[in-house]
Structure 1
Amino acid sequence: MSSDRYPADLEISAQDFAECGWKGVLSGTIREGYSSMWQAFSAAAREAMEEGRQSHGKVLWLLADACSMTLLPKSINEPFKPIMVIEGKRSAIPDDLPDPEIVFFSQIVDGIDDPWLKARLADLVWLKQQPRDVNFALIAVDNYRAIPLDTETWVRGGDKCWQRAISLSLMLKVGAGERLQEMESSIVAVLSGATAQDGFLCHWLADLLYENSLGWANQVEIAQKLEALAREFDEQGDVHRAREYYDSASRWYKKASDEAKTAEMTVAVAESWVKEAVVRVSSDNPSHMVAASFYENAIQVYRTIPRSERAVYRVDDRLEELRQHLNESGDKSLDEMKVIKSPSMDISELVDNARKAVRGKDAVEALKVFANLHGGVNVEKVRESAIEKIRKHPMQAMFPATVMSRDGRVIAKRPGMSLGDTLNEDDEIVIRAEMIRDYGILVSIVVQGDIWPALEVLLLEHRLTEADFVHIARQSPIVPKGREQLFGKALFAGYDQDFVTMLHLLVPQIEHMVRYHLKQVGVKTTTLSTDGIENENGLSTLMELPEANRVFGEDLAFEIKALFCDAFGPNLRNELAHGLLDTGDCYSVYSIYAWWFALKLV
């Protein structure tokens, strides 16, 4: 990495660091976290090399490399990743730094008075130097926590710095002294003094405490602060912020074992969706289609309220009212739909359109567009198409067929179709098999023509983190409480193109999500054996329950079955559960589509 920037054998010293002008570089830079420092040091390094100041140039390049790395604050073994990976090439990682350069960092750390730079270099020395010196970890902690706790700094990387300080302190345990308690006190103090003008800061700090099991002694105080800000945002008409604060307050009240307040906050979250639906249909650009999705979110949130608390808030009556609103908006949304005709196109046009759809947008808008590149299936139309195809070309359907696994096992059988005027049970199996076959073709086209090309653009233009996807999962009514981290990790793994990790995390969460929402409407999801042992039913059994279509809708229920638990399809749940998927299978179009499908759900 160094050979094209400075001679590989060029030696540098602490004196070179002192004279390279690093302070001037930072003072002349608009500070926006480590990325701005990386760019500033890189520019200064090029200038130094052009001027023949090779030693200074190498020092500045090393500082640029150190600042370029993306911090994954909770990782013990790999807390730094490259900021860019393009066409087989990547930016710097810690393993690119040879031992002499780590020694160099250890020699200059004490002379640095910028907390961002000092923390980063000390952290790299702690990570790479052998044997490890705990003093460098403590220097990193002290400088990470010296970074201000304010909204502007937080969104520019301060959040990761504070999380890293906490993670290191938790790792060091007693070796960190009182640092963890001091950080806890600092965070609680800033949280308590936060105002509505600080935006999401109080919410973010509460999450930081919660996710690290801190602040438990202040549970009620934190919950009340979050509730107060939620109500203030609500009065201002800022529904989005109010909802997030109500949701966070609900978590803290639940932690404090205050079931009544937890339910009250959950009701407020649900009603925020209702308010948003009302605003959407009464705006200058009304959309009953969007309003219907908001009503559906409200219904899903109300369903999470325990039955012991439902009477106080007339939850069952309110659910009935919201279902009526949902049906009304659904009916009116049909009038908003228009028939769009376009000439036939090959997949190259699909690819180009997908890339254009997400290119040049901010991260939030790009992700929304990405999640809606494909509208999903209309199971009624898929069924009609399958029946029409069978009737036009009956020969293949007339004869029974057997589906075999890759190791030769028979995993499904399809009977022959009667082709009579009245469809019988065997005919329905044939139709279902044909529907799933057509669905598989559609999935392949969508992945290759829409999802993958658009994902490549997203990865080039936006650096989203695991925390971003956990946040998205936390705001989704369909994600069960307590599963936000796992859903978020799965979604991030897919975004990071680690589909092995994604699939192993996602599939169990999809099954739990189905079970959770069925239980919420009173469906029995277990089977009692003759021995008196009650076992949870698997996804295949759950999706065969008649209530599954009612809870998830026919279209969504069909996709869940076709993707995860039908032997005529990829059968991802059962293949994964039995250890039958290899690495290549985890990168199949079905796996990639399953990730995108989950993102769209959330």
Structure 2
Amino acid sequence: MANDGTKTQAELKVISLDDLKALDVNALLAGNEGSDPFALTKPLREARADAEEAGDEARRRTLSLLHDILDIHLRVHDRAEPFGPMFQGPGGRTCTASDFRGEQSTILAEFAATVDHPVLRARLADLAWYNDRKRGDVGKLAVEAYCEIIKRRIAGELHRTHGDDTHLLDMADIATRMMSVAARVHKISALPSSIIELLDTLFCACVEAHSYVAFCHVADIALGYDIFGWEKILQGAEAIVSDTGDRDYPMAVQGVWKLAERGYAKLDDKGNQKRAQDAIVEQDLKMRSQVAQASAEAHWVRVAIDKLRRFGGNKERIAELRKELRELEDASLDDFAGIPYQSDISELASGTVALFKTLTLPDILMQFALLSRPQSKESLERDADESSEKFIMSSMFGGSHADREGKVYAQTEAKPDADADKTDWYKAQSLLACEIHRQQVVGGLIDPARRFVMSTFPLVT
């Protein structure tokens, strides 16, 4: 049932409730311990292949429906359009939630209540509620299924398809979607106690597993829906950072300290706020051990100095770091290496000499002034776009520019999105293009012309 971009929604065949029940999906997914939709697609694909081989077209179409629904991409942080195609390209796209709007969605709402596996039940109920917001009963069913996924995952009954179960970021994402639906089908002031208890369990699990990023997400959920107060959040933050290991990624730890700094500022606790600010800076400085080049180390020292200035009252610490920064900037000069390239300008140079041989001295002087003209803005922008398409990686990352002492004097951003303002990016790209253009003009036009004039019309001083 995958929408290949050539079929309209009306052309997708509706699968009846009887066909769905005849599938016996509970037996098919019995014993499956996956906690994400991807874990369920494999047995569905295998069963679909068996049905196709057996010539059972009705069963094949039913399995395709469930597979395509599980394959829809859930964007938990996009409240307006949470469901999207897993793949979209010039030739078409895979299915999205709106493809099943109408009769099929109503059938899925009825079928969802009969499904045992919480991952499939959550997806079916959520999709049906998304397509018809009047079905509050189906929305509540989705919330209950999401709760069950998180609860069973923490209990060790469900598992990640890839990676360690202690990495709870995917559960934080599920909690995000769960609360987004719950906020619409329940009153925020009257959320079921099961939801509040579950978030508390997930919150504590993140602390115990040292899942820093997931902890911050769960804390933001709790604060956003006014489930926990800052006192509980800060208690958890202090607990999770009290036993950080040397192998813990500093930027992940820093996220917790940023959350704590925000909380202490809210509570007007100046002492602990300053302690959190110092810890934030220390995580930037710990990033020096994560890189291998002096220029990269200098970057993180520079980031730390910027934060200290923003926090205020750190003149001695800034002065100390500036000394280290100067040493690193000087050492960073050893990181730079020229990239040689060859450009054949012999034909351009010989053409210049041939032209000047036919001119008188007055004409030579006039022509010399006209040798180089600036490139138009339009041509520079066109060249920049063509270069970014040809060298994709170079347009995905920003860059920094250093002087002869290793000091960074300018930074350029990666290529902006299509709808964003590209003025600054075009300027940065044009500077590089103009430098190459100037070298060609000097080597192929100005120098040959100058040498010819000097040899033909020697100046007497």
Q: What TM-score do the two structures reach when normalised by structure 2?
A: 0.69
Going from structure 1 to structure 2, the CA distance change for 1:242 and 1:343 (only over 3 Å counts) comes to: same
**Shift of residue 128 of structure 1?**
2.0
Please, which of 162, 175, 181 is the counterpart of residue 168 of structure 1? 181
**Shift of residue 125 of structure 1?**
1.5
CA contact (8 A) 1:223 1:250 kept: no
Query: Matched residues in 2 for 1:76 and 1:589: separation?
Result: 28
**Shift of residue 198 of structure 1?**
4.0
> Does 1:272 find its partner at 2:272?
no
CA contact (8 A) 1:188 1:215 kept: no
> Does 1:81 find its partner at 2:84?
yes
Query: Matched residues in 1 for 2:169 and 2:240: separation?
Result: 23
CA contact (8 A) 1:234 1:242 kept: no
Query: Matched residues in 1 for 2:123 and 2:165: separation?
Result: 20
Query: Matched residues in 2 for 1:175 and 1:280: separation?
Result: 43
**Shift of residue 20 of structure 1?**
1.8
Determine the structure 1 residue equivalent to 2:265.
Answer: 254
State the identity %: 19
Determine the structure 1 residue equivalent to 2:370.
Answer: 395
Determine the structure 1 residue equivalent to 2:232.
Answer: 221
Please, which of 269, 287, 299 is the counterpart of residue 293 of structure 1? 299
> Does 1:125 find its partner at 2:128?
yes
Going from structure 1 to structure 2, the CA distance change for 1:327 and 1:146 (only over 3 Å counts) comes to: same
CA contact (8 A) 1:247 1:269 kept: yes
Please, which of 391, 397, 401 is the counterpart of residue 450 of structure 1? 391
String of CA shifts for 1:185-223, please: whole Å, max 9, x gaps.
Answer: 43234323544544334334223334x243442x12321
CA contact (8 A) 1:220 1:253 kept: no
> Does 1:586 find its partner at 2:419?
yes
Determine the structure 1 residue equivalent to 2:347.
Answer: none
String of CA shifts for 1:571-591, please: whole Å, max 9, x gaps.
Answer: x9xxxxxxxxxxx98378659
The RMSD of aligned alpha carbons is 4.2
CA contact (8 A) 1:31 1:37 kept: yes
Query: Matched residues in 1 for 2:20 and 2:316: separation?
Result: 70
CA contact (8 A) 2:295 2:332 kept: yes
Going from structure 1 to structure 2, the CA distance change for 1:58 and 1:322 (only over 3 Å counts) comes to: same
Determine the structure 2 residue equivalent to 1:146.
Answer: 148
For 1:106, the aligned partner's letter is A
CA contact (8 A) 1:82 1:90 kept: yes
Q: Bigger radius of gyration, 1 or 2? A: 2
Query: Matched residues in 2 for 1:336 and 1:111: separation?
Result: 63
Determine the structure 2 residue equivalent to 1:244.
Answer: 255
String of CA shifts for 1:2-47, please: whole Å, max 9, x gaps.
Answer: 6999xx7977544433332423443465625112323442342232
String of CA shifts for 1:311-370, please: whole Å, max 9, x gaps.
Answer: xxxx1111111111111101101012222324569xxxxxxxxxxxxxxxxxxxxxxxxx
Structure 1 residue ranges, 4+ long, deviating more than 6 angstroms after superposition: 2-5, 8-11, 433-439, 452-455, 591-596
Query: Matched residues in 1 for 2:3 and 2:334: separation?
Result: 64
Correspondences of 1:71-110 after superposition (within 5 Å):
71-97=74-100, 99-110=102-113
> Does 1:324 find its partner at 2:326?
no
Structure 2 unpaired stretches of 5+: 155-163, 345-366, 398-406, 430-461
Query: Matched residues in 1 for 2:325 and 2:380: separation?
Result: 28
CA contact (8 A) 1:447 1:593 kept: no
Query: Matched residues in 2 for 1:588 and 1:317: separation?
Result: 40
CA contact (8 A) 2:35 2:149 kept: no
Secondary structure (helix, strand or coil) at the match of 1:145 reads: helix
Secondary structure (helix, strand or coil) at the match of 1:555 reads: strand
CA contact (8 A) 1:32 1:156 kept: no
For 2:65, the aligned partner's letter is L
Structure ranking higher on relative contact order (CA contacts 8 Å, 6+ apart): 2
**Shift of residue 102 of structure 1?**
1.6
Going from structure 1 to structure 2, the CA distance change for 1:595 and 1:393 (only over 3 Å counts) comes to: closer
Determine the structure 1 residue equivalent to 2:40.
Answer: 37
> Does 1:192 find its partner at 2:204?
yes
Query: Matched residues in 2 for 1:123 and 1:320: separation?
Result: 55
Query: Matched residues in 1 for 2:259 and 2:294: separation?
Result: 29
Query: Matched residues in 1 for 2:254 and 2:28: separation?
Result: 42
For 1:448, the aligned partner's letter is E
Going from structure 1 to structure 2, the CA distance change for 1:82 and 1:437 (only over 3 Å counts) comes to: closer
Going from structure 1 to structure 2, the CA distance change for 1:332 and 1:12 (only over 3 Å counts) comes to: closer
Determine the structure 1 residue equivalent to 2:57.
Answer: 54
Query: Matched residues in 2 for 1:185 and 1:58: separation?
Result: 40
Query: Matched residues in 2 for 1:298 and 1:260: separation?
Result: 20
Secondary structure (helix, strand or coil) at the match of 1:146 reads: helix
How many residues align structurally? 382
Query: Matched residues in 1 for 2:221 and 2:195: separation?
Result: 11
Q: What TM-score do the two structures reach when normalised by structure 1?
A: 0.54
> Does 1:333 find its partner at 2:339?
no
**Shift of residue 65 of structure 1?**
1.6
Determine the structure 2 residue equivalent to 1:232.
Answer: 243
**Shift of residue 82 of structure 1?**
0.4
For 1:554, the aligned partner's letter is Y
**Shift of residue 233 of structure 1?**
0.8
